[in-house]
Structure 1
Amino acid sequence: MSTRKPKLILVYEPEKACFDRLVADNHVPKRAAEIASYLAQSTDIAAEFDALAIACQTRGLSFAPLALDDAVTVLASEVPKTTLVWTLTDGIAYFRGGAAPALARLNGLKTIGADDALFALCQDKFRSGAVLGALGLPVPQAGFARDGAWLVAPPASPAGWFVKPNRLGAKIGIWPDSRCDDLGRALELSRRVFAAYRDDVVVQPYVAGRNARASFLGLKPDTGVEALGIAFVDSGDDFQTMQDSLALYGDTGAVAKASGTYTEPALLPIADSQPRADATIRRIAGNLMVGLGLRDVFSIDFRVEADDSVHLIEFEVCPGLPCFDFRDYCRRQWGLSLADAMAEAAANRLLA
């Protein structure tokens, strides 16, 4: 019988590995860098590795960060009963992190987070929107275009449409003119996205309101929607562009912090001003946990109108753990640093 110390393995895809692979696949370096920036949390989390090791040690665990390219060999040698795999970065197209939970399952290892099927679903915005709609959730109906041609025509929208890449992060490749008032412009945006990123676009009716995020980390396996942290994310703009995203994370964010130009969006608890919307979001999250299988750690993005109407935009099974909003959530909800919250959640699954 094995006496190996219980271990938390954090699997991540480094930005540079992704960038090098994209360039080798003939992506323009500037665009490859923009695409790889979606993995900035793998860069930012490195500063937490020592704290994670200490936090795990105090709870009877060992900690091992693991680059994705080494996962095939390393995970095959781990002991199923004493190993927990936490996948930090997802992806099925430009990124490959969705392979990590599948590798863990292949080797009989325990995992934290959703099963690998949801890693694929959440990265395909058109398909995930169809599934969310089938569950009766308030997701905007979407059209679908590729390089200037409709695959699925979008619905009519007096308020115009919002255009975003389908398989990249919802904000990657988004320009200031991504909200448009005519469908010809939407098709032009699809050509720009295809030329820059080789991706299709989702074209949704524009919905008014404020951006909101629900963050979740279940410190114990039976934690429910009462532990959601639901906040408006106010940056002063209607939506976040690619440039805005680059300024918050990874190397660009680090430069901004060093120069004193770094500014985080304000996080304002929704329950303080719109308790009915807060309750609606908790019901939606509960439906996703039961009907879709979200668990352990995730985030959900919404638009919330002044009359408490709530629009579900997307869900993420690999939320940006080292990002400002998830750190804030760990402090507010659990009274813990990011490292202690992660270690506590892991210990409660491995040592229960």
Structure 2
Amino acid sequence: MPNSQPTLILVHEPEKACFDRLVADGYPTERATEISSYLAQSTDLAPEFGQLAGACEKRGLAFTAVELDDAPTVLMKADPARTLVWTLTDGVAYFRGGASPALARLNGLKTLGTDDSLFALCQDKFRSGAVLSALGLPVPAAGLARNGAWLVEPPASPAGWFVKPNRLGAKIGIWPDSRITELGHALELSRRVFAHYRDDVVVQPYVAGRNARASFLGLKPEAGVEALGVAFVDSGGDFQTMADSMALYGDTGQAARNAGTYAEPELEPVAASQPAADRAIRAVAQKLIAGLGLRDVFSIDLRVEANDTIHLIEFEVCPGLPCFDFRDYCSRQWGMSLADAMAESAANRLRS
């Protein structure tokens, strides 16, 4: 008999499913491990599905966690009047989570999060940057290189450049030498990225400053940019590498916890030391909401200079919910655990 309760369906792509697919496609094990590590939020949240189910039950909701490969069948059978789909993991290249909101729309189901077109846009940093620039947002200009050849040459930059994959990761540089002073080095990095990951590289003028993240969860339907959590994220380095990222999440992060070597970056509210920058970041978020259609749950990564100049690096429509920073945001902004904040957001969305 069909469930008569309103139901939250959380669709996620597990790391192992991605790993197996990449290996079958010819990626070496080490590369497949690195790439699939971006889906670590599925690994990290899975042990809390029971807590999430309990939090939903308190609010009159049923909860179902669905692996992406099972989503077409599950969503096809779901009741549009009683179902809300929340997509945990995104992707249109190495990962496939961007299919989930499209499947929900195909089956007439409500979704929590932005529309499916933005799931594709945010995964392609060069195209995303072009759109953000057209909206008048402070995003660094960019060049694009593929396997040692320029597709678009980057602008001049006395401070040097920063090189990152176009579709794999948003802000990390993969290797410690990703900040460069010679464009020939950028082409060498593009060859390395292409050989390892089959991806292009974005080459942007290097921008100084501190790393900041703005997190948003529309727990209440009327929540706006005042509910944004804006914090400096200090990991002790100028930028994050692949190794830094893997050390925080998934099985690698859990192993570090078990060994007592796990260390989270420090979070500091931007408003505490740079209130003007905090206001500027909220204004950028408002433009993204109005001009791009961000809603419900998202994050923004930025660089903030000492003079309050801000640089928009990327936006994410599937922020790492079980990550340390989003948990901190839920606690500070909403006074709730992650499970309760997710359940409350879903319940309010289904009522609206």
Cα separation, 1, equivalents of 2:337 and 2:282: 24
Q: Which residue of 1 aligns with 2:287?
A: 287
For residues 342 and 55 of structure 1, the distance between their equivalents in structure 2, rounded to whole angstroms, comes to 8
Measure, in 2, the Cα distance between the counterparts of 1:259 and 1:21: 30
- CA–CA distance in structure 2, aligned partners of residues 172 and 14 of structure 1: 22
TM-score by length of 1: 0.99
RMSD across aligned C-alpha pairs, in angstroms?
0.9
Does structure 1 retain, via aligned residues, the 8 Å contact 2:213–2:233?
yes
Contact 2:171 2:313 in 1 (8 A): no
1:39 maps to amino acid: L
| Alignment match, 2:24 | 24
Separation in structure 1 between the aligned mates of residue 179 and residue 159 of structure 2, nearest angstrom: 10
- In structure 2, the CA distance between the partners of 1:3 and 1:91, relative to structure 1 (3 Å rule), is closer
How far apart are the structure 1 equivalents of 2:349 and 2:211? 33
Deviations 1:230-276, CA, capped at 9 Å, x for gaps: 00000110001100000000000000001110000000000000000
Aligned to 1:272: 272
Partner of 1:215: 215
Give the structure 2 partner of residue 59 of structure 1: 59
Amino acid aligned to 1:308: D
The SS at the match of 2:202 is: strand
State the partner residue of 2:251. 251
Q: 2: CA distance between counterparts of 1:208 and 1:87?
A: 34
1:222 Cα deviation from its structure 2 partner: 2.1
In structure 2, give the amino acid aligned to 1:338: L
Q: How many residues align?
A: 351
Aligned partner of 2:262 in structure 1 is 262
- CA offset at residue 175 of structure 1? 0.4
What amino acid is aligned across from residue 319 of structure 1 in structure 2? P
Give 3-state SS (helix, strand or coil) of 1:139's partner: coil
Provide the secondary structure at the position in 1 that maps to 2:105: helix
Aligned pairs (5 A) from 1:148-163: 148-163=148-163
Which letter does structure 1 place at the counterpart of 2:211?
N
Q: Is the 8 A contact 1:35 1:172 kept in 2?
A: no
Q: Give 1:92's aligned residue.
A: 92
Question: Structure 1 residue 349: deviation in Å?
Answer: 1.0
- Deviation, 1:171, is 4.6
CA distance in 1, matches of 2:222, 2:288: 15
Q: Which residue is 1:345 aligned to? A: 345
SS of structure 2 residue aligned to 1:268: strand
CA distance in 2, matches of 1:86, 1:266: 29
C-alpha displacement of 1:173: 6.1
| CA distance in 2 between partners of 1:167 and 1:131 (Å) | 16
Given that 1:91 and 1:120 are in contact with CA atoms closer than 8 Å, whether structure 2 keeps it comes out as: yes
Deviating more after overlay: 2-11 vs 15-24: 2-11
Measure how far apart 1:132 and its partner are.
0.1
Q: What is the CA–CA distance in structure 1 between the aligned matches of 2:187 and 2:217, rounded to whole Å?
A: 39
Partner of 2:314, secondary structure, is: strand
Contact 1:8–1:62 (Cα < 8 Å) also in 2 = yes
Q: Aligned partner of 1:180: which letter?
A: I
Partner letter of residue 160 of structure 1? G
Structure 2, unaligned stretches of length 5 or more? none
TM-score normalized with structure 2 length: 0.99
Compute the displacement of 1:3 (Å). 7.4
| Counterpart for residue 312 of structure 1 | 312
Task: Answer yes or no: is the 8 Å Cα contact 1:34–1:172 preserved in 2.
Answer: no
Note if contact 2:173-2:239 (Cα within 8 Å) is conserved in structure 1.
no
1:122 partner letter: C
Matches within 5 A, 1:325-344: 325-344=325-344
Structure 2 matches for 1:71-150, cutoff 5 A?
71-150=71-150
Equivalent position amino acid for 2:219 in 1:
L
* Structure 2 letter corresponding to 1:304: V
For residues 104-157 of structure 1, the C-alpha deviation after alignment (integer angstroms, 9 at most, x for no partner) is 000000000000000000000000000000000000000000000000000000
SS at match of 1:290: helix
Q: Distance in 2 between matches of 1:178 and 1:16?
A: 28
Gaps of 5+ in 1: none
2:172–2:239 CA contact under 8 A, matched in 1: no
* 3-state SS of paired residue (1:51): helix
Matching residue's letter, 2:91: G
Equivalent position SS for 2:81? helix
* Partner Cα separation in structure 2 for residue 248 and residue 270 of structure 1: 22
On the 8 A contact 2:114/2:295 being kept in 1, the answer is yes
**Counterparts of 2:106 and 2:73 in 1: how far apart (Å)?**
12
CA gap of 1:234–1:172, structure 2 versus 1, over 3 A, is closer
Q: Aligned with 1:81: secondary structure? A: coil
8 Å CA contact 1:216–1:299 kept in 2: the answer is: yes
2:224 maps to 224
Q: Is the 8 A contact 1:216 1:296 kept in 2?
A: yes
Runs of 4+ more than 6 Å apart: none
SS at match of 2:53: helix
Give how far 1:170 is off. Answer: 1.8
